[in-house]
Amino acid sequence: MRTSMLPRILLPMLLAACCATVEAADVTVEVAEGITLLPGQLQANHSPDGNSLIIRGNDGAVVVDTGRGNAHTQELIDLVAGLGVPLVGVVNSHWHLDHIGGNAQFRARWPGLHVYAHPSLDNALDGFHADYRKQLESYVPTLEAGSTERKRYQAELDLLKLDRQLAETDPVRESTTLDLGGRILEVHASAHSVTEGDLWMFDPSTRTLVAGDLVTLPVPMFDSACPEGWKRALGELSEVRFKRLVPGHGAPMTPAAFATYRKAFDRLLECSAASADSKTCIDGWFADAKPLVSKADESYGRTLLAYYIDGFIKPDAAGRKRWCPKAD
């Protein structure tokens, strides 16, 4: 595939479609008492889904991130419907489609459902989502009628057209504590990190930290990120005395594994800010993060990092200028 001729905002999804090797998960994972993980997926010819969580309390359940594709979202809905307790809310970690794409289906299934999220989707609807929608509207008609690729990108376009049906009903702008179904969750807001406003959660009863895309594998994904803000947010996570961390993409981590991730992240930013070429920085990431990344995912990760380093991480990168707040 000739990626050089494709719209820039489409490139990460096309790379995922061409190169990812991680298969969709078939089973849920009980990561802690009352916390079930429905793993996301990255696989060939399929739009990605982020990790989703069901957190059960004595009086109800809450879902963290609703996925992107119909299969993932429907499985999540079926799991919740079979719990025997009411669904009291959805929490979105951030506005990327693979984390909010199922919101409309959840709201249709449970009318009046509370959706807790940072209100930064409002800006994304007029910016990132609007740009992406325009590019898809131009790109989809160029694909072969009836092809798998055209169906996949048409589904993506249909999601974008839902607009406010994917948005929050209960905006969370600052860190707070929520009682959801009898489960006390500490919800923290980090500004200008992976997006303009990211939420991450801590369940003190099990010492489980839910990081959203502040932690992703096989590489950190900078499509709408400010590197310095993300670095600061990882520092905030490091101050939490957690027992396990659930990332936005990838398997749950121990504190030691997260420390490895954070060190690799810091070194990636340092390398990208210096005069080193991109390949040196990419080699450094995979050396530093070696315990966390499977060999099968390295080729895909290398392709993504080359895109992110040049487009988002280097000091003069266009993505950095777009997503980092302007200095006063």
Give 143-163 pLDDT, tens digit per residue: 999 998 898 899 999 999 999
Q: pLDDT at position 41, please?
A: 77
Per-residue pLDDT, 152: 87
Q: Is residue 214 a part of any domain in this protein?
A: yes
The answer to whether position 34 is within a domain reads yes
Please determine, for residue 201, whether its predicted confidence score (pLDDT) is greater than 90: yes
| Over residues 273-299, mean pLDDT | 93
At 185 the pLDDT is 97
pLDDT of residue 15 exceeding 50 = no
What backbone torsions phi and psi does residue 40 show, to the nearest 5 degrees?
-75, -170
Please report the pLDDT score of residue 45 as a whole number: 53
* pLDDT digit string, tens, across residues 295-315: 988 988 899 999 999 999 999
* Widest CA span in the chain: 58
- Asked if residue 307 belongs to a domain, the reply is no
Q: How confident is the model at residue 12 (pLDDT cuts 50, 70, 90)?
A: low
**pLDDT: which is higher, 192 or 26:** 192
Confidence (pLDDT) at 4: 32
Residue 77: other Cβ atoms inside 10 A: 20
- 99 within some domain: yes
Q: Is residue 260 part of a domain?
A: no
pLDDT above 60: residue 44: no
Edge-to-edge order in the sheet of strand 208-216: 176-180, 183-191, 197-203, 208-216, 244-249
Range of the domain at 243: 3-251
Confidence class for position 23, pLDDT limits 50, 70, 90: very low
Structurally, how many domains does the chain consist of? 1
Whether residue 193 is contained in a domain is answered as yes
Confidence of residue 43 (pLDDT cuts 50, 70, 90): low
The whole-number pLDDT of residue 214 equals 98
pLDDT for residue 189? 97
Instruction: Answer yes or no: is pLDDT of 136 > 80.
Output: yes
Average pLDDT over residues 80-106: 96
Residue 35 maps to which CATH number?
Answer: 3.60.15.10
* Within-domain flag for 154: yes
* Higher local confidence (pLDDT), 152 or 105: 105
Q: Does the pLDDT value for residue 265 go beyond 50?
A: yes
CA torsion sign for 154, 124, 251, 319 is positive
CB contact at 8 A, 304 and 219: yes
- pLDDT at 11 exceeding the cut of 90: no
What's the CA gap between 29 and 38, in Å, rounded? 7
In a domain, residue 296? The reply is: no
Q: What is the pLDDT of residue 28?
A: 92
Structure tokens belonging to residue 106: 């959840």
Instruction: Give me the mean pLDDT over the 106-120 stretch.
Output: 96
